Chains A and B, each alone.
Chain A
Amino acid sequence: MSRYFTEDHEWIDLDGDIATVGITDYAQGQLGDIVFVETPEDGKQFAKGDEAAVVESVKAASDVYSPVSGTVTEGNSALDDNPALVNEDPEGEGWFFKLELRDAGELDGLMDESKYKKFVESL
């Protein structure tokens, strides 16, 4: 299983052609206390860059974009009752949604963990 990172501070785990998407620890730190997450419904189709989820902190609402194109297979229902999971375990239990990848080529050019770490340090 390989993990990719985007400049929008999302992570993607690839297992076969199923991609699990979440926001990074850096992103949750910037957002602050998360009070609400809206995840997409099964079967929803996204092109890369489409608005896929909404995450709301005490201060503000933010969109989460689909980092790749595909069809949603599952939203993380645990976030309905416990949105703070995104603060507690952003790169694990606090994942947002899974989708069936349409074009693996879209992963080209995304960062690996060490590149993303350097990217965050440069901000």
Chain B
Amino acid sequence: MSETNETELETLTLPLDGWHRAHGGRMVPFAGYWMPVQFDGIMAEHQWTRESAGLFDVSHMGQLHLSGDDVVAALETLVPGDIAALKPGRMRYSLLLADNGGILDDLMVTNAGDTLYMVVNGAVKWDDIAHLREYLSDKITINHLEDQALLALQGPKAVDALARLVPGVTDLVFMRGAGFEWQGHALWISRSGYTGEDGFEISLPAEAATAFADALCAEPEVKPIGLGARDSLRLEAGLPLYGHDLDPETTPVMADLGFALSKRRREEGGFPGAERILAERENGAVQKRVGLIIDGRQPVREGADVLDAEGNMVGRVTSGGFAPSVGKPIAMAYVPVAMAEPGTAVQLGQRGKIHQAKVAAMPFVPHRYVRAGASK
């Protein structure tokens, strides 16, 4: 046997690994898998997605089916969203909460008919499954769909390209999904994503992923996009990234994700950390996640300090970088509530240098979702 290298053993490959390499993807380890950080270049890929359609491989994410009697009520003991109100084919953003109200993960949950379909973050999917298994009764079945790939097609022309392969998708609107078929393969497609643009997320059997990616990229609107542009797009869209902008030390109120606390659930309670979270909602949390626009051209990144007028550290930058569509460096940070109003001037300290910034409303780039009832 040849020598083995421990780190190589630890980094796994996804169904489209060879496809990415053949398309010039620069592969890096991410969430335990080899994934493409870029193809043509982050700036070009970012702009392409905003103007046309970008294909993202997000097969590292965890796809779960939850089923069993009272599965809805069972899941509601772990998340603050109104899952019972989800009609078939409807989905909702929600949060897996620890007993103290800290965020264990953010996720999408869909009423897929017989089951609840959940998509969770790749980096914490094993922890999520362990948590669900520990807290849900044995009557609930958790099926980890490890043989499913997950693709996202994002951008204003995503609908044109995808509809040529799967005509029915034009009937979907934002945050709705349905089952479709392509060349004999079952697809679950929702109109959703992580870029702020219109677009779709497509769950499909791993063995069909290469052919489907080829078919999509044969459409003139579509190019493959790497993780680098995925990050700059979601940052501009004001969407938090778990493990950076959200973690067990942050609560839904601190993270400014109050919309994930459904009205019925706020009134009834009964989710982890409800007492603390509802009190924070009433009285305000100590800190809040905000957007920042940085003066000058130098990016201020995760880990930089937020300073008050006297130079005391009062907060932290959790994501940051140059925003191609804004043309300036932007960031997300946790700051004291007193400094959270848009327009507030703040100072940031990074590698011994002070940067001036202003709190800005998010999203930095307007969302362009195609919602139910909206005229096209």
Contact = CB atoms under 8 A, between A and B. Distances in A.
Chains A and B belong together in one complex: yes
Contacts, number: 42
Interface residues of B, number: 18
A35 B228 contact: no
Nearest to B44: A33
A58 B42 contact: yes
A116 interface: no
Contacts of A58: 42-43, 46, 228, 232, 321-322, 324
B322 A56 contact: yes
A33 B42 contact: yes
A58 B228 CA distance: 8
A59 B298 contact: no
A36 interface: yes
Contacts of B299: 35-36, 56, 61
B297 A33 contact: no
B38 interface: yes
Contacts of A33: 41-44
Contacts of A61: 299, 301, 351
Q: Chain B at the A interface: mostly helix, strand, loop or mixed? A: mixed
A83 B52 CA distance: 26
Interface in B178-213: none
Contact of A36 (B42, B46, B232, B322): B322
B340 interface: no
B37 interface: yes
Given A32-B228, A58-B228, A83 B297 contact: yes
B42 A32 contact: yes
Contacts of B38: 32
A74 interface: no
Contacts of B43: 32-33, 58
Contacts of A80: 297
A34 to B, nearest CB: 10
A13 interface: no
Interface size class of A (residues with CB under 8 A): 10 to 19
A75 B73 CA distance: 64
A25 interface: no
Interface in B39-91: 41-44, 46
A58 B329 CA distance: 9
A38 B38 CA distance: 25
A59 B321 contact: yes
Contacts of B321: 58-59
B228 A59 contact: yes
Contacts of B41: 32-33
A38 B298 contact: yes
Interface in B214-254: 228, 232
A84 B38 CA distance: 18
A45 to B, nearest CB: 19
B300 to A, nearest CB: 10
A59 B42 contact: yes
9 contacts: A33-B44, A35-B322, A35-B329, A38-B298, A54-B298, A56-B299, A59-B42, A60-B301, A61-B301
Going nearest first, the 4 A-B pairs with the smallest beta carbon separation are A35-B322, A33-B43, A58-B42, A36-B298
Given A54-B298, A56-B322, A59-B37, 6 more contacts: A32-B41, A32-B43, A35-B297, A36-B297, A57-B42, A58-B42
